[in-house]
């Protein structure tokens, strides 16, 4: 009887302390946008190229000049990037399309004054 109780308690303890054998998450990449302009970047969008709209603003607060924001956890593949500066009379855009995100790497973009309403520089 004692042996049965010890066996049951031992099995329960082993199950409670057991290590999960789940697979590690797939490798991901990142996109970093550095604001090398004299304007704040008020909104930043990073979406899969297959998406039909710009989705959610990734900038919790404006990205001031000389600062950067990295968006990580991106699946390898083709991504689009849009940086928006809200001007006095209208918003100004910098966009990059079909940018290749590679696992375990960070793709760097730089936003400059001359880039607005043009394309991001890689």
What's the pLDDT tens digit per position in 68-117?
999 999 999 999 999 999 887 788 888 999 999 999 999 999 998 877 76
Sign of CA dihedral 34, 35, 37, 41: positive
Q: Where are the beta strands (DSSP E) in 14-116?
A: 29-35, 43-48, 68-74, 77-86, 91-101, 106-111
**CA atoms of 98 and 1, how far apart (whole Å):** 68
CATH number assigned to the domain with residue range 23-119, chosen from the 4 options 2.60.120.200, 2.60.40.2890, 3.30.530.20, 3.40.50.970: 2.60.40.2890
3-state DSSP call for residue 113? helix
pTM for the full model? 0.75
Domain ranges within the chain, ordered by starting residue: 23-119
């Amino acid at each position: 009887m004692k042996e049965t109780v010890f066996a049951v308690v031992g099995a329960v303890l082993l199950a409670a302390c057991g290590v999960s054998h789940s697979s590690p998450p797939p490798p991901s990449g990142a996109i970093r946008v550095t604001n090398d302009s004299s304007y704040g970047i008020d909104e930043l969008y990073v979406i899969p190229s297959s998406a039909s709209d710009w989705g959610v603003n990734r900038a919790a607060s404006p990205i001031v000049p000389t600062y950067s924001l990295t968006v990580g956890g991106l699946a390898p593949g083709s991504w689009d990037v849009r940086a928006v500066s809200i001007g006095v009379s209208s918003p100004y855009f910098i966009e990059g399309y079909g940018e290749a995100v590679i696992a375990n790497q960070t793709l760097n973009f730089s936003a400059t004054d001359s880039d607005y309403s043009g394309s991001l520089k890689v």
